[in-house]
Structure 1
Amino acid sequence: MPRSDSLVIRILLTALVAFGPLSTDLYLPSLPTLVRVFDTDIAMVQLTLSTFLIGFAVSQLIYGPMSDRFGRRPTLLVGIAVYLVASAVCALATSVEGLIAARFFQALGACCGPVVGRAVVRDVFGRDRAATVLAYMSMAMTLAPAVGPVLGGALMELFGWRSNFILLTGFAVVILVAVWSLLAETNTTRDHEALNPGRMLANYALLLRNRRFIGYVLVVACSYSGIFAFISGSSFLLIGQMHLSPAQYGMSFATVVLGYTLGSLVAGKLSHRWGGARMIRTGTLVSLAGGALGVGLAAAGVLQIASVVAPVFLFILGVGLTLPNATANAVGPYPTMAGLASSLLGFVQMTVAAVVGLAVGHLHSGTAMPLMGAIGLAGLGALLAHRLLVVPVSEQHDPQP
Structure 2
Amino acid sequence: MLTLTSIWTTVLLAAAVALGPLATDMYLPALPQIGSDFGTGTDQVQLTLSLYMAGFAIAQLICGPLADRFGRKPIMIGGFVLFALASIGCALATNIETLILCRFLQALGGSAGPVLGRAAIRDIYTPREAAKILAILASIMALAPAIAPTIGGFLVTGLGWSSIFLALGGYALVMAVVVAFGIPEPMRPENRQTLKLCSLLRNYRKIGTDVSFLGYTLTNALTFSGLFAFLSGSSFVLIDFLGVAPEHFGLYFALMVAGFVTGNLFAVRLGSMLVPDQILVRGLVIAVAGGSLMAGLALSEVYNVWAVILPQALFMVGTGMVLPQTMAGAMANFPRMAGSASALFGFVQMALAAGAGMLVGHLHDGTSLVMAVVIATCACAALASYLLLVQRHPAAGFEPQGVSAQ
Instruction: State TM-score, norm by structure 1.
Output: 0.97
Q: Does 1:278 align with 2:278?
A: yes
* Equivalent residue letter for 2:144: A
Task: Answer whether contact 2:212 2:395 (CA < 8 A) is retained.
Answer: no
Q: Does 1:41 align with 2:33?
A: no
Comparing 340-349 and 80-89, the one that deviates more: 80-89
Deviations 1:154-175 (A, max 9, x none): 1111111011011111101211
Aligned twin of 2:299? 299
Distance 1:192 1:291 in 2: 42
* Equivalent residue letter for 1:252: Y
Distance 1:51 1:327 in 2: 23
Aligned twin of 2:354? 354
Measured after TM superposition, the shift of residue 272 of structure 1 is 3.6
Distance 2:401 2:159 in 1: 52
Measured on the aligned residues, the alpha-carbon RMSD in Å equals 1.5
Deviations 1:184-215 (A, max 9, x none): 11111455544221111111111222111101
Distance 1:202 1:395 in 2: 20
* Equivalent residue letter for 1:17: V
Aligned twin of 1:138? 138
Comparing 30-39 and 197-206, the one that deviates more: 197-206
Aligned twin of 1:332? 332
Aligned twin of 2:239? 239
* Equivalent residue letter for 1:250: G
Distance 2:19 2:70 in 1: 22
Matches within 5 A, 1:99-248: 99-190=99-190, 193-248=193-248
* Equivalent residue letter for 1:361: G
Measured after TM superposition, the shift of residue 100 of structure 1 is 0.4
Distance 1:265 1:400 in 2: 25
Aligned twin of 2:72? 72
Structure 1 unaligned residues grouped into runs of 5+: none
Comparing 386-395 and 307-316, the one that deviates more: 386-395
Task: Answer whether contact 2:91 2:163 (CA < 8 A) is retained.
Answer: yes
Distance 1:272 1:59, change over 3 A: farther
* Equivalent residue letter for 2:173: V
Task: Answer whether contact 1:189 1:336 (CA < 8 A) is retained.
Answer: no
* Equivalent residue letter for 1:375: I
Measured after TM superposition, the shift of residue 370 of structure 1 is 0.5
Aligned twin of 2:255? 255
Deviations 1:110-156 (A, max 9, x none): 01001111111111122221111100110111111110001100111
Measured after TM superposition, the shift of residue 269 of structure 1 is 1.6
Deviations 1:216-262 (A, max 9, x none): 00011001000100000000011011111012211111111110010
Task: Answer whether contact 1:271 1:325 (CA < 8 A) is retained.
Answer: no
Distance 2:380 2:199 in 1: 35
Task: Answer whether contact 1:132 1:272 (CA < 8 A) is retained.
Answer: no
Aligned twin of 1:27? 27
Comparing 184-193 and 59-68, the one that deviates more: 184-193
Distance 1:379 1:44 in 2: 26
| Structure 1 runs, 4 residues or longer, greater than 6 Å off | 395-398
Task: Answer whether contact 1:259 1:313 (CA < 8 A) is retained.
Answer: yes
* Equivalent residue letter for 1:204: Y
Matches within 5 A, 1:5-24: 5-24=5-24
Task: Answer whether contact 1:66 1:194 (CA < 8 A) is retained.
Answer: no
Task: Answer whether contact 2:329 2:395 (CA < 8 A) is retained.
Answer: no
Distance 2:47 2:395 in 1: 42
Instruction: State TM-score, norm by structure 2.
Output: 0.96
Distance 1:169 1:396, change over 3 A: closer
* Equivalent residue letter for 1:333: N
Distance 1:365 1:288 in 2: 23
Distance 2:187 2:71 in 1: 6
Aligned twin of 1:373? 373
Task: Answer whether contact 2:217 2:348 (CA < 8 A) is retained.
Answer: yes
Task: Answer whether contact 2:333 2:396 (CA < 8 A) is retained.
Answer: no
Partner secondary structure for residue 392 of structure 1: coil
Distance 2:190 2:44 in 1: 42
Aligned twin of 1:83? 83
Structure 2 unaligned residues grouped into runs of 5+: none
Distance 2:44 2:81 in 1: 28
Comparing 23-32 and 123-132, the one that deviates more: 123-132
Task: Answer whether contact 1:56 1:350 (CA < 8 A) is retained.
Answer: yes
Distance 1:393 1:181 in 2: 41
Distance 1:178 1:131 in 2: 25
Measured after TM superposition, the shift of residue 297 of structure 1 is 0.3
Comparing 321-330 and 178-187, the one that deviates more: 178-187
* Equivalent residue letter for 2:284: T
Distance 1:261 1:192 in 2: 35
Task: Answer whether contact 1:16 1:113 (CA < 8 A) is retained.
Answer: yes
Matches within 5 A, 1:45-64: 45-64=45-64
Partner secondary structure for residue 274 of structure 1: coil
Distance 1:195 1:273 in 2: 42
Task: Answer whether contact 2:26 2:151 (CA < 8 A) is retained.
Answer: yes
Distance 1:160 1:110, change over 3 A: same
* Equivalent residue letter for 1:269: R
Paired positions, count: 401
